[in-house]
Amino acid sequence: MSSVCVVSCQPKQLRRLIQQTFQSYSTFQQDQCMAKFFTTLSQCYSITEESYGCQLVPICLAKFSDIRSISCTAESDGRALLTVHIQGSKQPLAVNTSSLAVAENMADLIDGYCRLEGKAESSLMVRPNKGTIT
């Protein structure tokens, strides 16, 4: 079903197209249905990149070479806290995220930049009760 038809079709014609589309899906196996969903979704959204909503401010909080450790902690409500310990700072930088997966992805990104820009030789990520990840 094309987006042009959705905008220009008469309601009865649009209803018929929707019913035909659903009928074609009814014969799919579960894996075929999932593949079709992601194929359709990829036409609308880029799923090959991640993005994080944030507001940039013109202040340099730290250089990647100043970062000493990075940790993620799950919160009881499903959210998470990303903590970045910075040399010379009295308080770590703390970022609330919507989930532990988002916090871990951000931590991986920061850790990668620390390795590239700050010339860190090993990972700066620390997991509670597991020590440093290398």
Q: Is the pTM of this model over 0.85?
A: no
Distance CA 98, CA 38 (A): 23
Distance CA 12, CA 20 (A): 12
Mean pLDDT of the residues in the chain: 81
pLDDT at 74 over 80: yes
Give the number of other Cβ atoms within 10 Å of residue 52's Cβ: 11
pLDDT at 120 over 80: no
Q: Sort residue 105 into left (φ over 0), alpha (ψ -120 to 50) or beta.
A: alpha
* Residue from 68, 59, 84, 71 nearest 120 by CA: 68
Distance CA 103, CA 59 (A): 22
Residue 28 token pair: 């799919």
What number is the average pLDDT over the span 94-99?
92
Q: What is the pLDDT of residue 61?
A: 78
pLDDT at 6 over 90: no
Q: What is the pLDDT of residue 126?
A: 85
